[in-house]
Amino acid sequence: MLDQLLAHPDVFEESEIRGTFGFMAFHGGGLEEATDVIAKHAAAMTGSSYYGIHQPADLKWHIPSHRIDPQHSVVLDRFLSHVDTVITIHGFGRQGFFTSLLLGGRNRPLARHVGHHLRTALPAYRIIDDLEHIPTDLAGQHELNPVNRVRQQGVQIELPPRVRGASPLWWDWEGPHLTPHTQSLIDGLAQAVHSWNPVRVATELAE
Distance CA 181, CA 107 (A): 25
- 168-186 per-position pLDDT tens digit: 777 777 778 899 999 999 9
- Predicted pLDDT at 12: 95
Distance CA 103, CA 126 (A): 11
Long-range CB contacts (within 8 A, 24+) of 179-182:
181/122, 181/124, 182/34, 182/37, 182/38
- 15-39 per-position pLDDT tens digit: 999 999 999 999 999 999 999 999 9
> pLDDT class for 202, splitting at 50, 70, 90?
low
Tell me: pLDDT of 205 over 60: no
- 96-123 per-position pLDDT tens digit: 899 999 999 999 999 999 999 999 999 9
Domains of the chain: 2-206 (3.40.630.100)
SS3 of 4-24: HHHCCCCCEEEEECCCCEEEE
Distance CA 37, CA 166 (A): 12
Three-state SS at 51: strand
pTM for the predicted model, two decimal places = 0.93
Q: Which of these, 37, 16, 51, 3, lies nearest to 177 by C-alpha position?
A: 37
Tell me: pLDDT of 201 over 60: no
Tell me: pLDDT of 135 over 70: yes
Q: Could you tell me if 87 and 140 are in contact, meaning their C-beta atoms sit under 8 angstroms apart?
A: no
Q: Which of these, 176, 59, 167, 185, lies nearest to 119 by C-alpha position?
A: 185
Distance CA 200, CA 13 (A): 33
> pLDDT class for 85, splitting at 50, 70, 90?
very high
